[in-house]
């Protein structure tokens, strides 16, 4: 936590190491006041997600467009490069836009539930908690992440329904909830209409677009399908009966015409 005492630290990337163990709660009142990118992915961190840490990330908890951009060599970019995972791809960013915010705890051994306080990170653009051992429901508070563009919760043990509040995330362009134990109806909204079925694969209990035609009761759907199938069979039977009668009539006419 001594890293948190660095007052101007904006980017902290510890990805792809062999760091392990739980993240201890901070013992000081103010840490990481300016941190905008926190990447702990591809390590062996364990325990619960550090709720107390999220309370201190002031730069990710506030979304103030009036904030003046810092100037580095006459531009609004840091001249450092960083590798991040966003929207399902690993990318190297050569110049980091000063407003870009990332929280990436993916590919670790975190357990427990996703803390609802993560909904307070309203300035985050990329949130990646994939490939851990997280359980419980997706907190509805994630619907408050008004700036999030990439949300990846795949490869966990999440249960319950997808919160309807996520449908209000108008900036969301990438969503991955695959390989969990989610069920129920997939929320419908402007952004959710753009996601393909691979965003939900590995959740056999999910229904609705795009994994199924509709989100009605499965029993009713099966009944309707059965009725539809019966109607088709009856139509085929009526057609065959009519065609048989027509053929018989034609044979009779031919016989009469040929009779001496």
Tokens of 48: 């619960």
E-strand spans in 59-195?
77-78, 82-86, 89-93, 96-97, 102-104, 109-111, 126-128, 135-136, 150-152, 157-160, 174-176, 181-185
Rounded to 5 degrees, what are φ and ψ at 201?
Answer: -60, 150
Predicted local distance difference test score (pLDDT) of residue 29 = 81
Residues in contact with 103: Cβ distance below 8 Å, sequence separation at least 6, in sequence order = 38, 57, 60, 121, 124, 126, 127, 128
Q: Where are the domains of the chain?
A: 2-207, 217-260
Percent of residues, the chain, with pLDDT higher than 90: 57
Q: Which CATH number, 3.30.465.10, 3.80.10.10, 3.90.76.10, 3.30.230.10, labels domain 2-207?
A: 3.80.10.10
Which of 97-106, 124-133, 189-198 is predicted most confidently?
124-133
Structure confidence by residue, pLDDT tens digits, 60-99: 998 765 444 444 444 444 546 667 777 776 776 655 556 6
Tell whether the model's pLDDT for residue 220 goes beyond 60: no
Least confident of 12-26, 39-53, 138-152, 221-235: 221-235
């Amino acid at each position: 936590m001594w890293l948190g005492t660095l007052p101007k630290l904006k980017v902290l990337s510890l990805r792809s190491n062999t760091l392990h163990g739980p993240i201890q709660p901070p013992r000081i009142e103010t840490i990481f006041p300016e941190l905008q990118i926190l990447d702990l992915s591809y390590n062996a961190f364990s325990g619960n997600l550090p709720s107390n840490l999220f309370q201190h990330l002031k730069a990710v908890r506030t979304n103030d467009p009036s904030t003046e951009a810092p100037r580095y060599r006459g531009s609004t970019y840091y001249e450092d490069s960083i590798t991040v995972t966003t929207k399902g791809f690993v990318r190297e960013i050569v110049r980091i836009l000063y407003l870009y915010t990332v929280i990436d705890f993916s590919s670790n051994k975190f357990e427990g539930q996703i803390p609802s306080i993560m909904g307070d990170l309203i300035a985050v653009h990329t949130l990646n908690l994939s490939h851990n051992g997280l359980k419980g429901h997706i907190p509805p508070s994630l619907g408050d992440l008004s700036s999030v563009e990439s949300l990846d919760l795949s490869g966990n043990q999440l249960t319950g329904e997808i919160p309807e509040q996520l449908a209000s995330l108008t900036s969301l362009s990438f969503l991955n909830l695959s390989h969990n134990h989610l069920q129920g109806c997939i929320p419908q909204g402007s952004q959710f209409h753009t996601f393909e079925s691979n965003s939900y694969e590995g959740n056999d209990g999910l229904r609705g677009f795009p994994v199924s035609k509709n989100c009605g009761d499965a029993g009713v759907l099966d009944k309707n399908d059965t009725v539809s199938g019966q109607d088709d069979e009856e139509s085929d039977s009526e057609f065959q009966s009519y065609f048989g009668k027509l053929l018989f009539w034609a044979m009779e006419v031919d016989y009469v015409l040929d009779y001496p």
